[in-house]
Amino acid sequence: AQSVSQHNHHVILSEAASLELGCNYSYGGTVNLFWYVQYPGQHLQLLLKYFSGDPLVKGIKGFEAEFIKSKFSFNLRKPSVQWSDTAEYFCAVNAWASGTYKYIFGTGTRLKVLA
């Protein structure tokens, strides 16, 4: 069965530190990959997405993610985090299976940035 793993459940960083959140998926076919962000008390918002082409994807607010097909990974990065990046981050995979698209979310990573 398809699955998405986010190994870091909680991450605490100081402002200006670099961020990398891991995301691995298990699915052998073609996938579309997403990162969502959920700020405290708010709904999920799309941060960035990968469908095809350049495996390095740039999203909003200085975030980027790299798709490494051989590693089944789509890690999220930001060179210098800000206090306002405190949020929960969800990786998601969309894959065609059994005649429909299956959209699977990871369990999320809670990021806390200390001012």
Partner 1 sequence: DAGVIQSPRHEVTEMGQEVTLRCKPISGHNSLFWYRQTMMRGLELLIYFNNNVPIDDSGMPEDRFSAKMPNASFSTLKIQPSEPRDSAVYFCASSLEGKWGYTFGSGTRLTVV
Q: What are the residues binding partner 1 (CB under 8 A)?
A: 32, 34, 36, 42-46, 49, 90, 94, 100-103, 105, 107-108
Tell me if residue 39 falls in helix, strand or coil.
coil
Sign of the alpha-carbon dihedral angle for 48, 50, 53, 54? positive
**What's the rounded Cα separation, in Å, for the pair 108 and 47?**
14
Smallest separation, CB 15 to partner 1 (Å):
26
Q: Which is nearer to partner 1, 82 or 107 (CB)?
A: 107
| Calpha distance 82→66 (Å, rounded) | 21
Cβ distance to partner 1 smaller for residue 51 or 83: 51
C-beta of 83 vs 103, nearer to partner 1: 103
CB 68, min distance to partner 1, A = 20
Cα 72 to the chain's mean position, in Å?
13
